[in-house]
Structure 1
Amino acid sequence: MSTKDSDSVGIDEKDNVLIEQRSSPGFIEAPDGELLNADIRPSAERKLVRLLDMRLLPTIIVIFLLNYIDRVAVTAAKLQGLTQDLHLTGLQYNTVIAVLYATYVPAQIPSNMILNRISRPSYYIPACVIVWGVTSACTGVTKNYAGIIACRVFIGLPEAAFYPGAMYLLSRWYTRTELAFRGAIIYGGLLISNAFGSLIAAGILGGMQGKLGIAAWRWVFYIEGAVTVCIGFASIILLPDYPHNTRWLTPAQRRLAQVRLAEDAGEADEDVKNESATVGLMMALKDPKVSIMAVMCCSQLLGLGFVNFFPTIAGTMGFSTTVTLLLCAPPWILATIVCAANAYSADRTGERFFHMCWPWWGVIIGYIIGVTTMSLGARYVALFLMACGYAGFALTAVWVSNAIPRPPAKRSAAIGIVNGFGNFGNLIASYTWQSQWSPEYHQSMYIGLAALVFASVLAFVVRCMLIKENQKLEKAELDFLKGAGRQRIEDAAKLEGLTFEQALERKRGFRYLY
């Protein structure tokens, strides 16, 4: 929140009078305010949210699925000869995994700043999807270490636009009580991609070896890259822009979408003239919550860094390539279900800290199992616990949006900073799962365990900061009620036939979710 936000604490008189008028029976506003009438607004709002759920969510989910399939295709290809054909050493393979983050991490902040300033995200995001699809397909023609390194470097740039950009786009459409579940549904695309990515890779690797004289691992990149390009073109039509300019909504629906967000945070979800992308970046950098959440995200992704080595870890159980890839699917299917259920509960309760941390604690238990036994059944159970840990990460960008709600320029920069810096954890993790530590990977698990404990501590610090912020907001509102503000609420209660307590609850301003 900016200083301006803290001073107003969501009680700008003019805005609240307007909101109270809109809540009054028989209110009519023309020409684009027709859906704000008290008698038709609830159904109109449900229709709007349903329309967004049917167009925005499926499109983002499919893109996210392809995003991670393209990104982790290297791990599946390794099982079928990629390292041998390209003559990669163990260190070189780890570098192939890590180098993507050299561009993916720093590009997220400027990408989100660009997204906040342009008026057509329905062009920007699909363009990035098409570029990374082409780059992914080019990976299949590489002949040596230098070639695959070049592809991995360049694929990180367009991919950087997607996840933080998608979460920012969601935050421009959904309220605080709607965002966690939708964000988790989208992140479920990532989790399910780990399942279907393995299944798709198993099918390609098992059936395409030698077709047209091409190795099966190369077909993985050709096929998945081509599908990504096609989806990129389709998403130009399907994705929305912003509430004020989306072409496939009526003017009344656009107005309703803007009012919903304004009421949710006590102010319009728009930048004022002096709130440029650079100003938003500086505001985010000065907010201590952003830096703490960035380190927290980095630590948790280090703790969850097994994701890029999941087929390799599963391979330590001693099965064939096809069976190993098939065994990778069930843990991620369960993780997707857990992710959706956890986020649904987070939306219903408004709680964030425990919903984000308890899946990490499950990973910690999985690591403890992994370092104490080599039993086949126990280690497979540990893989389920580890995969479900991503149900916690799914709420990270959502919590950032809740903790840094306004202005949009600051929010977009904060999401980019937290997710961008956080992915340094993935970069570091690329070197913590070293082949010489297999098949036990005890050192890797100790590192992951310590990282998740540290992330839990930082999450608790953020929770305490938000509780303190809410106490300040509460005090400011109580001070407001000692003067003329109380009389205005009493008058509004009489006009609307409410008790003073009911009117006060409706008047209650913005609160952070923790």
Structure 2
Amino acid sequence: MSSPSENRLLLLSEFGDATLSAYGASLNTNDNPESISRNVLERNILRKLDFRTAYLVLIYILNQMDRHNAAAARLRGFEEDLGMRGKQFNTLISSLYIGYLFTQTPSNLILTHIAKPSLYLSSCVSLWGLLTTFIGISTNYYQALFLRFLIGFLEATFYPGTVYLLSRWYKREELGYRAAFFTAGIGVSNVFGSLFASGILATMEGVLGYAAWRWLFLIEGYLTVFVGVCGMFILPDFPSGSARWLTPAEHALARKRMEEDSEGHGAAEPTSSGRFSDVLSLVKDRRVWLVGTALCCCNTSLSFNMFFPTLVATMGYSPTISLLLCAPPWVVSTITAIIVARHSDATRERFGHTAFALSMSITGYILAMSTMNITVRYLSLFVLAQSQVSNGVLLT
């Protein structure tokens, strides 16, 4: 059995004298600093961090709802009221991704220089929510097209910014599980988004003289604004900055964890110099191109998500029933995503888990194309929804 002095030497070697002193000050006077293990500190860090980063899942759910509400609104006169013709609806849907494509990398470069990413990300959330409400009062196709185009620039800050923020707090073997919970927001948004949309579209027609699809944009937009404002006080900043929700020792250990995780993989904390050279080195790295191509293919395989209510509606059900039938496939997909990501973290294996999810997606497409049987077509939607499983694992 180790003596108190030996325990103290062990703690000093792990955390340093400043950390041990800070932690001793944060304890009650009757507590013995030498008896506190690193495992206890780490569990406290992860528990507190999980509580705060869970708010990112809520924002991502609203993000997906705002992105896909046009597909639900389409079932209740959105195209007709704005005078859309031909492929204008498809153009409206695609316009968001123009700004999304060009803003992601510059946004994350900016994020590395910002002391409070919580304010940066939350402000962008509130602004895209505000623009979403404006779509609800638009009077023609070109107004809605312009607003959705602008929303793309703001939404582009959130997803890559969140992934970067998570990677600054969690170690590699912890990240996949958390990333799965985050990306599971796609499935959850399709579940509750469809139920939420069906309730609004079924009950709000003509209220205050507005069509139901307008209420869908107004309500979801204002909800996003509110959640964005609250995020300024809930979301964590980088471990290199302030973290009042952690004790001094926990904060010091959080930084040390990232240093340990990055050994042999580069610096734990990004520097403020050489940003262009960093981008240039990434462009020259073939692995970046391979992962980027794989992610592009995965996202393409998820493109059906934009038309999910329309796909269900082709089975001949009413708009309300169609939206309700959208929920079950995403419930199953969300559960699968969390299980697969947890197993991927435990085994520290990524490729096989990604390939499994993509093989399910391929099967779903084959089923959807090969028959007009309603039961098989609906079953194919369950299998298609497994595409989101691959995104979380591959991105990790």
Taking structure 1 as the reference length, the TM-score comes to 0.71
Distance 2:34 2:64 in 1: 44
> What does 1:377-392 correspond to in 2, within 5 Å?
377-392=375-390
In structure 2, which of residues 323, 335, 338 is the aligned counterpart of residue 337 of structure 1? Answer: 335
Q: What are the Cα deviations for residues 47-70 of structure 1, in whole angstroms up to 9, with x where unaligned? A: 1011001112x2100100000100
Q: 2:277 aligns to what?
A: 279
How much has 1:31 moved relative to structure 2?
Answer: 2.6
Structure 2 unaligned runs (5+)? 1-6, 24-32
Q: What is the letter of the counterpart of residue 286 of structure 1?
A: K
Q: How far apart, in 1, do the equivalents of 2:34 and 2:121 lie?
A: 35
Percent identity between the aligned chains?
40
- Residue correspondences, number: 376
Choose from 332, 344, 347 the match for 1:346: 344
C-alpha RMSD over aligned residues: 1.8
Displacement after TM superposition at 1:254 (Å): 1.6
For residue 23 of structure 1, report the CA deviation from its aligned partner.
8.9
Change (3 A) 1:22 1:125: farther
Q: Structure 1 CA distance, aligned partners of 2:57 and 2:367?
A: 32
- Residue number in structure 2 paired with 1:485: none
8 Å contact kept, 2:301–2:387: no
Which amino acid counterpart does residue 86 of structure 2 have in structure 1? Answer: G
**1:260 maps to which of 257, 260, 263:** 257
1:138 to 122, 129, 134: 134
Q: Match for residue 505 of structure 1?
A: none
Task: Tell me: CA distance 1:289–1:23, structure 2 relative to 1, closer, same or farther (3 Å).
Answer: farther
1:83-482 superposed matches below 5 A: 83-248=79-244, 249-266=246-263, 268-272=267-271, 274=273, 276-398=274-396
Amino acid at match of 2:116: R
Contact 2:99–2:153 (8 Å) recurs in 1: yes
The CA deviation at 1:218 is 0.2
- Local SS of the residue matching 1:69: helix
Preserved CA contact (<8 Å) 1:33 1:255: no
Structure 1: how far apart are the matches of 2:280 and 2:143?
38
Distance in 1 (CA, whole Å) between partners of 2:382 and 2:271 is 47
Letter in 2 for 1:356: T
Deviation at 1:25, TM superposition (A): 6.2
| Shift in Å, 1:37 | 6.5
Detail structure 1 runs of 4+ shifted over 4 Å in the superposition: 25-28, 34-39
AA partner of residue 268 (structure 2)? D
Q: Which residue of 1 aligns with 2:78?
A: 82
CA distance in 2, matches of 1:223, 1:329: 20
CA contact (8 A) 2:357 2:386 kept: yes
In structure 2, the CA distance between the partners of 1:298 and 1:25, relative to structure 1 (3 Å rule), is closer
Change (3 A) 1:145 1:273: closer
Note closer, same or farther for the CA distance 1:273–1:85 as it changes in structure 2 (3 Å cut).
closer
> What displacement does 1:294 show?
1.3
Give the equivalent residue in structure 2 for 1:412: none
Deviation at residue 159 of structure 1 after TM alignment: 0.3
Offset of 1:268 from its aligned partner? 4.7
3-state secondary structure, aligned to 1:157:
helix
After superposition, what is the alpha-carbon deviation per residue over 1:210-264, rounded to whole angstroms, capped at 9, x for unaligned? 0001000000000000010000110001011111213322322221001111111
Structure 1, unpaired ranges of 5+: 1-20, 399-514
Letter of the 1:252 counterpart: A
Match of 1:47? Answer: 44
CA distance in structure 1 between the aligned counterparts of 2:228 and 2:127, rounded to whole angstroms: 9
Q: In 1, Cα distance between the equivalents of 2:272 and 2:315?
A: 59
Report the counterpart of residue 10 of structure 2 in structure 1.
24
**Gap change, CA 1:365 and 1:135, over 3 Å in 2:** same
Kept in 2, the 8 Å contact 1:261–1:268? The answer is no
* Distance (whole Å) between structure 2 residues aligned to residue 354 and residue 227 of structure 1: 39
Deviation per CA, 1:98-150: give whole Å up to 9, x if none. Answer: 11101111110101111111111011000100100000010001111111101
What is the Cα deviation at residue 195 of structure 1? 1.1
Partner of 1:504: none
Q: Which residue of 1 aligns with 2:62?
A: 66
Question: 1:277, 1:268 → 2: CA distance?
Answer: 14
| Distance (Å, rounded) in 2 between the aligned partners of 1:161 and 1:395 | 21
Q: Which letter maps to 2:127?
A: V
Mapped partners of 1:141, 1:303: distance in 2: 33
Aligned residue number for residue 446 of structure 1: none
2: CA distance between counterparts of 1:128 and 1:373?
Answer: 44
CA deviation profile, 1:197-217 (whole Å, cap 9, x unmatched): 111000000010000010000
Which residue identity is paired with 1:200? F
Which residue is 2:26 aligned to?
none
| Cα distance in 2 for residues equivalent to 1:37 and 1:175 | 25
Aligned partner letter, 1:29: G
Aligned AA for 2:368? G
Q: Call closer, same or farther: CA 1:22–1:330 in 2, change over 3 Å.
A: farther
Instruction: Output the amino acid matched with 2:310.
Output: T
- Give the SS at the match of 1:209: coil
**What one-letter code is carried by the residue in structure 1 that aligns with 2:18?**
P
- 2:151 alignment partner AA: I
Structure 1 position 277, deviation (Å): 2.4
